[in-house]
Every structure is written in structure tokens, then in C-alpha cells.
Structure 1
């Protein structure tokens, strides 16, 4: 059957099954019994479409008995979309769920059968615009709708839409976006991004601002929204559902992991992402409004989580510039400041329980709140570091100079007319001021225990992120970038850096010492090479972990003395962490070898240290040498385990580059007088 014939079949299928329930005003007086009938009918449509897709893909063509057409070809898609969108207005979550699933399947069907998928996406976006506009009782005059689409859609539906309808259409667009990114085509992605961007630009956001900035209950009579809509808005649940789904869609749109070419220089330069960035201040205000009207802690945390995720992902785009970093920082300080000021170790005691764990029930409400709060705290701090490093590291563009200069007097007491100086100062001040809040007030470089204070801060920072593997190595890489930038600024005696540094009694270079951070990281995982191996073979952390280890091994080999003389002392030397050795899956072949034994015919390695208390040849403290010895044993054991797994073709990717760095580390250990050279060779 031709593509047009397949589309006509789909139109007939939807029409015959759902016409009794999708006529205009069909849902004014729906009963529970009617909702059950609707659910059955819509579920049957889903099954028929699934079967038809399988038949089409396997080239099994089914001849239809009747040749009568129910609508002309150009009306098929509008009629199908309008009927399915009408189902989203049914006050039944199961019907709405099936309607969303059906629309996603229709998208797949239209594409598979070679019909006009571009028009389908356009109609979805058109439905979203009209439903949103009708919800707020706005005029269509300022919207650039295709007139025939508007007339048809208004004639065949969208009469009883509410926030559930709007949320449902947004949910459909999100699922389609996810499917596109799983098996994308450049042209399809561009069509999708263009349509969504056009839709977002035409939405009456100002009207929503006015609506949600009012007290719905007290100003019910004065709002230009009919009573049906007001009752739904007053309950707030549908509005929250829309906002949550909308945040999900935006996060999916800017998922950095799977961007593709979209007609611009790259996907991250598509105008859609600028549109999303400009929506963030509004999103924050809407979430705060919903927070005031809802006592559900989990909903509040979810919205904050999505907002932070969205801003973090936007920060990774190359199209985001200095002004965007300033914007994100302003939002962070205005609406998430309490997370930045929260003590780093406040909620660590409750971190042992996973979400939905049976042990969670034994925690108090305050402890449960603390677990969610720590998650948000990690995201907020990550965003602060991301914005700061982007300002310190990037070269400023002159077109942004006026915008940033206008803000300079707000952020520093000594406004600098030079854009780059101001940008660097702003980034450094953000880092210094945040760290200052978490250090003792009397901290000073000349203080006797200054090094220990810096170590304690770094240790608390690491402990916070050890509970979230997804962010752990991302933030460690971030800290290495900060350290690298600080070295460059110090090396060229940057004026902005020296000006900021002079105003504080501690040095960022001491806080973000990458060699010491790596030592502390190994200490927090108890120098267990199998924990590192777990990270390396994990699909979630593998890439970021190997990046971090490669950079650390290169840094260590170039800063060998600093690595050997690591000054771990005091309370840190006796601290323990929650990270323990884990089995590497059910396959016994994937279990890494234990710490290698002495060198023998098999090439195994063991470190042998001398009696440090009796050896006065080296001016090292006993605990320093012990920490170096533990770190070296961990890394050499890791080298041995990766090598064995790679030899057996059991490592999930080619680790040759990492193995070369580890072998270089082994060579330096051989040259170190602290160890028995022959035992290492």
C-alpha cells in the first residue's frame, strides 16, 4: 500500500475507534464508565498501530476491504492529531498515559510509512501553542499559525483543554526527542529543533507570568480564565505536572551526550538553546510560585534538581558565552544560595541508604530531607565551579563587554574597564568567596595548621561527591581545570589574579592542589584498586574516570616529588570513607587480582619499603612515606589487574594509553630510593 494509503488507514483506525469520544465538547460530562470505555478504545488503537508498524516493516501488506475515504489526504494528519490530543483532556491518568503512547506510536508510524513526518511535528507544536493559548484565554492574533491548521484544529477539538492537555503534548514531544537521539537523522533532528524552537518563541509566556504571579484563590473573579480552568489551576497539581514535564523536555533537548549537526556550525549553536537559556529566569520564578503553593518536599526538590541539571547542561555548550555564565551565577545566588552555604558535611551520616531502600524507613524526616538536600548541594556547587572556571578560562568576546561591564560594580569594589580582567576577577571572586564561607574565619597562610585546614576542606569536599558517582569524576576533572588555570595565571603574573589573591588570607592553589586531591581521593576509597577498576568499567563513570586517571598520571609523573612528599597528617590520617571494595559483576573472570605479590616469572609486582624509622637518609615523616606507599601499591595493583584483564580480552575498551601511563609510574617507583629497585623491575 502507498504511504498515502497507510495514512488513510491510520485515520480510519483512529476515527472508527475514538470518534464517539473525541467530538467537540465530548468530555463535558464524562463518567467513570465512559472513561473506562475510552481507555479500552484508545488501548485498542495503540495495539493496532503497533501491529501495523510491524507488518509494514516486514513488508506484509494488508488490503483494505473498503475503498471509501473518510477524509482527504491533506486533512488526515490534522484530524488524527486533533482526536488524539482531545484524549489528553480526559480526567483520567490512564487514558492520558495511553494517549501519549499512541501519539508517540503515530510519530513512528508516520515516519516508517514515508508520510509527512515534518507536518506531524508541526501539528504537535501547533496543538501545544493553541492549547496553551486557550488555557490562558489569550488571542491567537499574534501567533503565526497556519490559518488552515487553526481552523481545522479549533473545529475538531481543543475545546476542553487544561494543564493536563498541555503537559501531555509536552510529554509526547519529549519522548519523540529521546527516540530521535537514540537513532537520529540529521535532517529529522533539525526539523524537530526548528519546530520546537518556533513553538517556544510564540508561546504567551507573559500571560503565564501574570497568571501564576497572582493569588488564584483570592483573585479568582478577576482573572481572565474561565471557572473550569481556574479550579484546575487552583488545585495546582495539573500546573505542577505541566511544569515538571516541561523541565523534563528542556533537559532532554539540551542533553550534551548526544548532540548532532543541526544545520548550524554544530548542534549546540542551534537557536533553540539560546531560547531555552532565556527561559530559565522564568522557570525559576514559576518553580518558586509552585513551591509557595505546595508543601510537597519531593516536588520542590525535583523542580530544583531539574533546574540545576538544565543550567549545568547549558553550561557545557560552546554557544554559551560570558553573559550566560553571569546569568547562571545570578540565578544560583538568588535562588539556590542556601545550598551553597550549607556545610559540606552536614548530612553525610544519612548517605548510606539508597532511595527506596528498606533502611530509608528507619531515618527521620530530617535525615531523609538531608539526603535530597545533599544531592542538590552537589549540583549547586558543581554549577558554581562550572560558571567560575568558564569565566576564568575563556577569552572574552568584545560584544559582551558592555553587558558585563555594567555588572562589574556589583561584583567587585574595583571595577576594571578591561573585559578580560573583569571576567577573570569575577570567576576568581566566586571561588574565593564560596570557599571562604567554609573555612575557619581566622584562616591564614601564615597560620601553623594552614595546610591541615586546606586538607580538611578538600577531604570534606571529596566526601560530599563520593556519594554520587555520576558527578564525582566530572567535578574532579573540573578541579583539575581550575588548578591548571591558576597555574597559568600565576605563571604569567596576571594582574586580575594578583588583585583578587591579595584580598584573601588563603590561596586557591593550596585548596585546588591536584596532586594532593588525588592522594585524598585514593585515601577516601581506602587505596582499593578494585574500586578504581569498578569505576573504570562502569558505563556511567568509565569515560570520565579514565580521563581523570590519565590526567592524574601525567601530572604525577611531572610532579613526582610533590606526590612522594604528600603531607597527610592529623585527623585525616585516621578518617575512613564509605567507599569499599566491590565485586566486579557476577562473572568470576572479571574479578580483579588482589594486590600483586613480589616479582616472579609471571611478572607480578610488590612494593617493599625499608624500615623508615631507622632510615635517616631521607628527610620525610613516617606518615608521609606510608601514604605514598599505599597510593603507589594501589596504582601498581591497578596496572596489574587492567593488564591481566586486557590480555584475556575482558576489559570493555582498549586501555593501552592508561597502561602506558601506569607503566611510566612504575618506572618512577623503580627509581625511587624508598623502594627495593630489583623487586620492582
Structure 2
């Protein structure tokens, strides 16, 4: 069902409701609220949220919102009041303010130009928040994203003082809103709005100074780093959804270089692993690190299907897999006793005991890690023709030889841990161990047949390569 269209009067009523209700709390300059003030604000936010949804649901669908500068100015003021509340470290305030933003996004979707202005404004909030956290100076991206440049310039001027007290909690909240908006767009299957979203997020990811963020995220990855973990968790979730949507993106703006944005995210992978799991992979056993491992493996697998990875990236990823996931690669699949670890849609269910949940997580992570390891190895052994097109011919030859040697060496070492690959004489024990390993590998993937199918394709490509 398509969202209702907003009329001029109804849109103005919603913006006035938000502005008049929240102005006393957002323009006071207070960085914190007393318990009574927070209680009052939560009550007002709840009322604004309910009234906003009621007004929108009762709209007359016969006329659409005119996306003019006056309406954009009114909308930007409403957004500024809501995102200002994200600078307060209250999960409840942020949740309710975020609900209002998501509601606005859902119903602005009937006017593509107004929705485009809305998503551009939120991306500016994201970039300004990153700017205030980073020691690097840069300007938010307002060119190349379409719409009125003057409108977006005024948005930057309006939002800058509102976000001067940005913290990691603020950026995490903005990212959560962006991801919720993408989830809504996927459910509505609105290709035009999805493209607008991908274009806007692409410019923000390309523009943000990630190289200067090590000092902010270079912690130990412990569960005590709440705001930091919240930001990283939300950001990786957004990247996973973002990369997945690129599979279906047709008609991206000419100004958006799909190769450039995916390469940027690929280059971010080592940093994300370091930020989430520590430079020495110190926090392998915490719940948050298990979650990070899961999402990072998902991201890497999805990236490997989106763009041909060149040899240097594949070698780097093999090294990262050994550094951060060696325990999963080394774990004998023959010891997998629990073959009923069906995930029911998620590897992190709460309806089991801690021990059962940990076993399910470990089995799922092992499947992901082993699959990605075999995919990287097979791509090095049998590289795609266009993966090294940016290198001179002599370098391609050397890189191909080195990559093939690296892929074969790592694959041989991994197999040696599980089966006696050096025993060339067909002893009965050799064949028995080989059959047991093959059987256990299939059983490991039996409850995730989508990964099993991909795994078998990788193994078939290896066989074809060796025959050739």
C-alpha cells in the first residue's frame, strides 16, 4: 500500500507541531535534563509522535505536497529540533525522536523531491556529527546529490550549531534512523526512493574522513565501551543492508561511481575489524565480539559478490581471516556434535541457555568463516580476468603467480589440519578420515543450505581450475 500524500496545510500543521512542542527543550542550551524535565519531554515526544501519525493517516490523498523552498525550510527546522535531541544521552528520548523522523520519512515518500530533501538533510546531520567527532576538517557533501544546492547550504548553516555537542551516541542514533528508513523502502519496493537513498549514503561514506577515526574507535572492543559499540554495530548493519541493495540498484546517478563506493567500503574492512575486535583480537569471547564477527563476515561475503576483488585484497582478507577468525578455521568440523543448530532466522536467539546459544553462534560463525576462506582461496587460485585491470601487465603476472601460490598454500595448510593430505599412499585410515571430513563438512552446513550451495560452487570451481 503506497503512503498517503501530504497537503500543504497538513504538512504545515505537522511541522508547527514539532517545532512549537520541542523548541523549549532544544533551544535552551542545556546539555542535560533533570529527571522531571526528561519525563516531561518524553511525554511531549509521545504526544507529538501519536498526533503526527494521526494527522498523516487522515490526510486527503487527492493533492500532493509542493516541494518548494518554503516547505523545505519548514521541514529542515523540524528535523533540526529532532536531531538536537540526539545529542542528549537518553536512549528513550532518542528512540521517540527517531520514531517521529521515521514516520515523517514514510509519508514524505509520496513526494519524491521532498523525500530527497529529507534524506539529504539526514545525511548532512550524519556528516556534521562525524565532523564534530573527528580531528579532520571537511565540508558536508551538498553537491552531486541533486535538489536545490541553496536549500542544502542553508541546512548546513542551521544544523551546525544544533550538532556541536555531538557524541558517538548521537551518530549511532542517526545511523539507526537511516537503516530503519532503508528497511521501510525495501518493504515498499520503491526503486526510485531506494536509488535516492543509495546516492545520498554513497556521497556521505565517500566524504567522511575514516582514516582519522582510529583514535576514536581504537579501543579494546570490550562490552564496557557502550556508545562506541552502539555506533559500530549500527554502522556495520547499515553497510550490510547498503551493500545488499546494490545488487538491485539500476539507474544510479552518473555522479555516483558504484566501483568507487564499493572499493571505499572494501578499504574500510581492515579498519572495521580492528575497531570492532581490537588490534590484537583481544575480545574474541565476548557477546558483542561474536556479534561483530557475524556482521563483519556477512559484510565481507556480500562485498565479494558485488565486485571482483583483486589479488591484493584477497591476500589481505586471507591474512585478516587468519588473524581474527583462526579459531573458527582451526576448529575441527568433525567435532560438531550438535546438528540441530537451526538458526530460525538469526544466530543470536534468546530462547536457549547461554551454552546452547554460544554453540549456535560458534557453528554459524564457523560456516561463514570457512566459506569466506575457501572463496578467497579459490579466487586467488583461479582469478577473474578483470580483477587486476588497474595494474600494468608485468605486475599482473607477478601478482597472479603470488596470489595463486598464496591461495594454494593456505588451502593446503587448512586441509592439513583436518585430513592427512600428505599421505599419498591410499591407506584405509586415510580414506576413512577423508570421508569423515567430507561428511562432517556437509553436516556443518546442513542447516544453512544457501551457504552450502555457495560452498559447493566454490569447490567445483577449484576442481575445474585444477583440471585445466
TM range (shorter): 0.7 to 0.9
The aligned residue for residue 23 of structure 1 is 27
The aligned residue for residue 627 of structure 1 is none
Is structure 2 residue 412 aligned with structure 1 residue 432? yes
Of residues 139, 160, 166, the one that matches 1:154 is 160
The aligned residue for residue 117 of structure 1 is 115
Shift of 1:337: 1.8
Q: Is the 8 A contact 1:343 1:438 kept in 2?
A: yes
Distance of aligned partners of 1:96 and 1:126 in 2 relative to their CA distance in 1, 3 Å threshold: same
- In terms of mean alpha carbon deviation, does 48-57 or 381-390 score higher? 48-57
Q: Is the 8 A contact 2:223 2:286 kept in 1?
A: no
Distance of aligned partners of 1:126 and 1:298 in 2 relative to their CA distance in 1, 3 Å threshold: same
Shift of 1:241: 0.5
Shift of 1:296: 7.4
5+ long unaligned stretches in structure 1: 62-70, 217-232, 407-416, 493-681
Q: Is the 8 A contact 1:443 1:450 kept in 2?
A: yes
Shift of 1:422: 4.8
Is structure 2 residue 273 aligned with structure 1 residue 284? yes
Q: Is the 8 A contact 2:169 2:227 kept in 1?
A: yes
The aligned residue for residue 657 of structure 1 is none
The aligned residue for residue 456 of structure 2 is 479
The aligned residue for residue 317 of structure 1 is 306
The aligned residue for residue 196 of structure 1 is 201
Is structure 2 residue 11 aligned with structure 1 residue 13? no
- RMSD across aligned positions (CA): 3.6
Shift of 1:368: 5.0
Of residues 382, 389, 405, the one that matches 2:371 is 382
The aligned residue for residue 54 of structure 2 is 51
Q: Is the 8 A contact 2:223 2:229 kept in 1?
A: no
SS in 2 for 1:399: coil
- In terms of mean alpha carbon deviation, does 344-353 or 389-398 score higher? 344-353
Q: Is the 8 A contact 1:35 1:90 kept in 2?
A: no
Of residues 145, 169, 172, the one that matches 2:174 is 169
Of residues 387, 395, 399, the one that matches 2:389 is 399
* Cα distance between partner residues in 2 of 1:453 and 1:96: 56
Shift of 1:323: 4.2
Counterparts of residues 169-568 of structure 1 (less than 5 Å): 169-213=174-218, 236-255=225-244, 259-263=248-252, 269=258, 271-289=260-278, 297-349=286-338, 360-361=352-353, 365=355, 368-397=357-386, 398-401=388-391, 417=397, 420-440=400-420, 443-466=423-446, 468-469=447-448, 472-487=449-464, 489-490=466-467, 492=468
Distance of aligned partners of 1:418 and 1:274 in 2 relative to their CA distance in 1, 3 Å threshold: closer
* TM score, norm. by length of structure 2: 0.83
Cα shift readout 1:82-107 (whole Å, capped 9, x = no counterpart): 11111223332222112222111111
Distance of aligned partners of 1:201 and 1:269 in 2 relative to their CA distance in 1, 3 Å threshold: closer
Cα shift readout 1:466-496 (whole Å, capped 9, x = no counterpart): 2x32xx3432343244225414531x3xxxx
Aligned length: 446
- In terms of mean alpha carbon deviation, does 80-89 or 178-187 score higher? 178-187
SS in 1 for 2:58: helix
* Cα distance between partner residues in 1 of 2:7 and 2:264: 35
Is structure 2 residue 75 aligned with structure 1 residue 37? no
Cα shift readout 1:285-330 (whole Å, capped 9, x = no counterpart): 1012399797971111001111001001111114544444333223
5+ long unaligned stretches in structure 2: 143-151
* Cα distance between partner residues in 1 of 2:176 and 2:52: 19
Q: Is the 8 A contact 2:101 2:177 kept in 1?
A: yes
SS in 1 for 2:334: coil
Shift of 1:273: 2.1
Work out which of the two has the higher radius of gyration on C-alpha atoms and give 1 or 2: 1
Distance of aligned partners of 1:352 and 1:195 in 2 relative to their CA distance in 1, 3 Å threshold: closer
Q: Is the 8 A contact 2:106 2:184 kept in 1?
A: no
Cα shift readout 1:196-232 (whole Å, capped 9, x = no counterpart): 111112223233212333799xxxxxxxxxxxxxxxx
Q: Is the 8 A contact 2:123 2:200 kept in 1?
A: yes
Distance of aligned partners of 1:57 and 1:274 in 2 relative to their CA distance in 1, 3 Å threshold: farther
The aligned residue for residue 108 of structure 1 is 106
Cα shift readout 1:162-198 (whole Å, capped 9, x = no counterpart): 2111101001111111222233444323322221111
Distance of aligned partners of 1:312 and 1:102 in 2 relative to their CA distance in 1, 3 Å threshold: same
* Cα distance between partner residues in 1 of 2:21 and 2:74: 15
Q: Is the 8 A contact 1:110 1:116 kept in 2?
A: yes
* Cα distance between partner residues in 1 of 2:394 and 2:232: 31
* Cα distance between partner residues in 1 of 2:394 and 2:197: 34
The aligned residue for residue 146 of structure 2 is none
* Cα distance between partner residues in 1 of 2:393 and 2:273: 22
Q: Is the 8 A contact 1:3 1:114 kept in 2?
A: no
SS in 1 for 2:306: coil
* TM score, norm. by length of structure 1: 0.59
Distance of aligned partners of 1:180 and 1:393 in 2 relative to their CA distance in 1, 3 Å threshold: farther
Q: Is the 8 A contact 2:381 2:408 kept in 1?
A: yes
Shift of 1:453: 2.0
* Cα distance between partner residues in 2 of 1:293 and 1:25: 40
